[in-house]
Amino acid sequence: MSDYTGSEIMTVVAARALSSEDVCFVGIGAPSAACNVARLTHAPRITLIYESGTIGTRPDVLPLSIGDGELCDTALTTVPVPEMFRYWLQGGRITVGFLGGAQIDRFANLNTTVVGAYQRPKVRLPGGGGAPEIATQCQQIFITMAQSPRAFVDKLEFVTSFGHGEGGDHRRRLGIHTQGPTKLITDLCVMEPDPVTREMTVVSIHPGLTREQLQTHTGWPLKFATNVAETPPPLARELSVLRDLQQRTKRAHAA
């Protein structure tokens, strides 16, 4: 038995992928936790940007929404939302964008719009928000999602955010010059795109899990890299920073 949860290792592994040099466009949930764990551990000078307009924010507790006052209070500056999307995101200033979604396919395209037909959906999801442009305008994209066959599907019913499309040079063909999804970090493993096909490929498996277990959580036949590593487990310090942050957050939101 491990002494951490799948969600915790996912967040810690995502945090490790960030550095002090990054300018990071942060989403709510696991991305927000990962970015702030990075800031509170090995990447103290990381620049965190939330789409509400807050640049260089250093929240003490995680925001519940993308525009909590905590983000503005601790930001270097807060800009209007049109400026955020025009100058900072479209302007090419962001090194890493963090995304998640309800559904993902093997080329890391994301659906956050509908399950079922668009006009008469089985489930109406929130929609794209900032994601469609984050996906193409940040230098690279990290995705964090819990891995399950309902979420990791063979074919998306709706592409809200473009990953590697149909694979290969699909991004280039659409005139997109950023890297797209370079890491897919789940509660079970880490995937990276194959250099040629761009299909997301398992490069490391979290401790104690087998290839078969990964496959049962995935709606397509998984590809594994030639050398698959074991993900180094979370360190005590990483876990304590994450748990303290989540405790502070829980207390603040209950107040």
Partner 1 sequence: MTERARVLPLAAAVEECIHNGDSVAMEGFTHLIPFAAGHEVIRQRRKRLTLYRMTPDLIYDQLIGMGAAERLVFSWGGNPGVGSLHRLRDAVEHDWPAPLELVEHSHAAMANAYDAGAANLPFAMLRGYLGTDLPRVNPNIRTIQCPFTGEQLAAVPAIRPDASIIHAQKADAEGNVLLEGIVGVQKQAVLAAKRALVTVEEVVEQFGPRSPNAIILPAWTITAISVVPRGAHPSYAHGYYKRDNGFYIAWDKIARERDSFLAWMRANVLERSADEVTA
Residues that bind partner 1 (CB under 8 A): 28-29, 51-54, 63-69, 71-72, 78, 80-82, 84-86, 89-90, 109, 113, 118, 120-133, 135-137, 158-162, 165, 170-171, 174-176, 252-255
Give catalytic status of residue 230 as yes or no.
Answer: no
Q: Please say whether the beta carbons of 112 and 160 come within 8 A.
A: yes
Distance separating alpha carbons of residues 27 and 14, to the nearest angstrom: 13
Nearest CB to partner 1, comparing residues 174 and 229? 174
Catalytic residue among 51, 192, 199, 238: 51
In the complex, least distance from residue 163 CB atom to partner 1, rounded to whole angstroms: 8
Sheet with 47-50: list strands edge to edge.
77-78, 54-55, 47-50, 23-26, 96-99, 140-144, 181-185, 189-193, 200-205, 223-230
Other CB atoms within 10 A of residue 106 CB: 27
Minimum distance of partner 1 from residue 116's CB (angstroms): 9
Q: Nearest approach, Cβ of 210 to partner 1 (angstroms)?
A: 32
Residue closer to partner 1 (CB basis): 134 or 202: 134
Taking 3-state DSSP, the helix, strand and coil percentages for the chain, each rounded to the nearest 5, stand at 30, 25, 50
Of the pair 196, 254, the CB lying nearest partner 1 is at 254
